Amino acid sequence: MRLHFRRRLLSLASMAALVISLMIQSPATAMASQTPSVTPVAFAAMTDKMSAKAKETQGKLESAYGEITGDTGRQVKGKAKQVQASAMNAKEAVKDGTRSAARKASDASDKLASKIK
């Protein structure tokens, strides 16, 4: 039983290390990925989506840790974080839809303006 617990804990720790390493950019990669074409709005949207993904991963890890240790409090907190991440993702989907509709309306008004000239 103890060996199984240690393996699961080691697996959980490895998964956490992998997630953290994927979320943190090295300075060279961060500087190379900075392009002038990225707008502040797009960057903010990417940051919000990354925050939602991080919250979801954190919730899954906490829930899994709670399952391994038998701590129902951690399981509940982990599930709550996953629900919070789902709400964050839904908010981002609404924002994306609104941006898309605004872009389409802007394109249509540009076409109409060019026909009037």
Q: List, for residues 45-103, the tens digit of each pLDDT value.
A: 678 888 888 889 999 999 999 999 899 999 999 999 999 999 988 888 888 888 888 88
**Tokens representing 117?**
């000239």
Query: What is the domain count for the chain?
Result: 1
Question: What DSSP character marks residue 25?
Answer: P
Task: Please tell me the distance from the alpha carbon of residue 53 to that of residue 19, in angstroms, as a whole number.
Answer: 10
Confidence at residue 3, expressed as pLDDT on a 0 to 100 scale? 64
Q: Which has the higher per-residue pLDDT, 36 or 22?
A: 22
Instruction: Supply the pLDDT for residue 83.
Output: 92
Per the model's pLDDT, the better-predicted residue between 38 and 15 turns out to be 15
The number of CA neighbours under 13 Å toward the Cβ of 45 is 15
Over range 3-32, report the average pLDDT. 62
Give the per-residue pLDDT at 73.
Answer: 92
Between 104 and 12, the more confident residue is 104
The burial class, CB within 10 Å (0-12 / 13-18 / 19+), for 78 is: buried
Determine the structural domain holding residue 51 and report its residue range. Answer: 2-116
Sequence-distant (6+) residues with CB within 8 A of 99 are 41
C-alpha distance across the termini of the chain, in Å: 79
Rg (CA), the chain: 21
Question: Cβ(82)–Cβ(60) under 8 Å?
Answer: yes
Per the model's pLDDT, the better-predicted residue between 100 and 29 turns out to be 100
